[in-house]
Amino acid sequence: MHLLSSARVKAGESVLVHGASGGVGLAVCQIARAYGLKVLGTAGTGEGQNIVLQNGAHEVFNHREHNYIDKIKKSVGEKGIDVIIEMLANVNLNNDLNLLSRGGRVIVVGSRGPIEINPRDTMTKESSIIGVALYSSTKEEFRQYAAALQAGMEIGWLKPVIGSQYSLEKVAQAHENIIHSSGATGKMILLLE
Ligand SMILES: NC(=O)c1ccc[n+]([C@@H]2O[C@H](COP(=O)([O-])OP(=O)(O)OC[C@H]3O[C@@H](n4cnc5c(N)ncnc54)[C@H](OP(=O)(O)O)[C@@H]3O)[C@@H](O)[C@H]2O)c1
């Protein structure tokens, strides 16, 4: 909820969930679709791509294909994408700025290092790069998100997708595997018993 409100999305706009097959990405796909957005997603495996399509995306691309950015550009045309929810900004931010529409917004959710960008790309389109951090939310904001998510699950437009599962004693392995993932298929969870 926080991601989409930070991007000030309007129904009918387009969103690219750049890294849609993981825990955050699939939830964004579901919520964005319920908001009335045109949803594009990316995943790195065929299985991940299928799950993205089953969870609200209109179209999916494979971010491990060398020409996938061209395919996205071809799909969205001259106008570009209104909002990009970015899970790996240190790899994608430069491409993201080129994919945006005029006045477009990139929301940085995940990043694992630095990247070089050309600030001029933000001038030409008057675009914005906005970082979000869930841990900066206030108690009141957490209450608001919880109320909206609870309603989504009750009505059915939000259905958490569980990916890999680990017992608590395998937590170190879980951390290792999420960093060197062979392909996400939903939220990684730890089992407490
Ligand atoms: N800012 C915040 O408040 C906040 C909150 C929660 C999480 N996060 C961060 O957000 C990121 C995603 O979290 P998560 O729980 O969804 O992790 P996850 O389940 O491990 O998912 C990672 C996602 O990134 C995708 N990915 C891999 N290579 C990519 C590339 N080159 N371009 C675009 N996407 C790529 C993966 O796709 P494939 O596996 O299919 O290749 C997968 O969809 C993490 O960095 C996490 O630390 C931030």
Per-residue pLDDT tens digits of the chain, which is 193 residues long: 777 888 899 999 999 999 999 999 999 999 999 999 999 999 999 999 999 999 999 999 999 999 999 999 999 999 999 999 999 999 999 999 999 999 999 999 999 999 999 999 999 999 999 999 999 999 999 999 999 999 999 999 999 999 999 999 999 999 999 999 999 999 999 999 7
**Among candidate residues 158, 159, 164, the one with its CA nearest the CA of residue 186:** 164
Q: What does each C-alpha distance from 77 to 100, 102, 169, 183 come to in angstroms?
A: 11, 13, 49, 29
DSSP, collapsed to helix, strand or coil, labels residue 102 as strand
CB atoms within 10 A of CB 100: 26
Ligand 1 mutation target, pool 87, 162, 166, most atoms within 8 A of CB: 87
Q: What share of the chain is helix, strand, coil (3-state, %, to 5)?
A: 45, 25, 30
- Give the per-residue pLDDT at 43: 98
- Fill in the DSSP letter of residue 44: S
- Give the per-residue pLDDT at 4: 80
Ligand 1 atom nearest residue 19's Cα: 34
Ligand 1 atom nearest residue 21's Cα: 43
- Give the per-residue pLDDT at 122: 98
Q: 85: which strand partners?
A: 17, 107
How many Å is the maximal CA-CA distance in the chain? Answer: 54
Q: Residue 87 Cα, ligand 1 centroid: separation in angstroms?
A: 5
DSSP, collapsed to helix, strand or coil, labels residue 82 as strand
Q: Residue 67 Cα, ligand 1 centroid: separation in angstroms?
A: 20
Q: Residue 150 Cα, ligand 1 centroid: separation in angstroms?
A: 23
